[in-house]
Amino acid sequence: MDGNFSSSFFSPVKPFAKVTQCKVNYPTVESELLMRSLEEVTGYKFRNSLLLAEALTHPSLAYETQKPRFDNQRLEFLGDAVIQLILTDELYRLFPGFSEGRLTKLRARLVSRDALHAFANEMNLGAYIMMGKGEEASGGRDRASTLADAFESVMGAIYLDGGLEAAQQAIEKICSPAIELVAESPDEKNPKGELQEALQAISTEGPEYCIKSTDGPDHHKMFTVVVQWRGQHLGEGVGSSKKDAEAKAARDAIVKRSWEKFSDNP
């Protein structure tokens, strides 16, 4: 090998022939309008609209209808690798002096399930996913794992349809605020630890975290946590675990910094 990749290596790839053996729901006028609005969000117009339809098809649709049809799992697998490559390349260029370990930690902030879920929410991706009625009734359109998977599959579809450059442009368009945040604060502190330090600088009393409510079925429970200090409400957070909700409540408190209004009171 001469060490040079063929130019076709990262070129648009035709969908596998196997896909055509499954039942295909060709886009209706309504679904095409939805897809066009999603194309505006990503900044990429598909040449093969069936790839986008595949990316937006949840596995529950085939299970519920008991008919073979494509779903987004293979594109999810591909999209995961594409996102990792593009964001790894971005971080490598942004931080030339960082070690492998530090770069790995930064990448984890951008490709975690929570981060992918946030990117999907920015795109309002839940409104576009085609899924079974049972899945939708159980909150599938808002489920973090479903949205994160759909984000990966859409990026995988863009890569297949338009190549690496198209996928890079779409990912950077959607992820740029998160990338900028990492660039500004590469050494992110733990929100709870940061809040603890801020309060201990003015008082011996620490913050208290309380569960305000829990919602949803057991397999998809959401926790709402409030953080208080000296009986005063500092912040609130919602998460899929108590730990996650507490961290978000702490981050909310840090942003508001409301303790500064009454920290002089005994």
The two beta strands, 232-239 and 208-215, are unpaired
> Would you call 30 a catalytic residue per the annotation?
no
| Helices (H), ranges, the chain | 29-42, 49-55, 60-65, 73-94, 100-111, 113-122, 133-137, 144-162, 164-184, 191-200, 242-256, 259-262
Residue of 71, 80, 136, 149 marked catalytic: 80
**234 secondary structure, DSSP code:** E
Question: Tokens in use for 88?
Answer: 């790894």
Give the residue among 225, 187, 186, 65 at the shortest CA–CA distance from 132. Answer: 65
**Residue whose entry in the numeric block shows the structure tokens 């929570």:** 114
| Widest pairwise Cα distance in the chain | 74
Distances in Å between the alpha carbon of 12 and those of 35, 45, 52, 250?
20, 13, 14, 44
236 among known catalytic residues: no
- Active-site option among 152, 161, 246, 252: 152
Active centre residues (catalytic): 80, 152
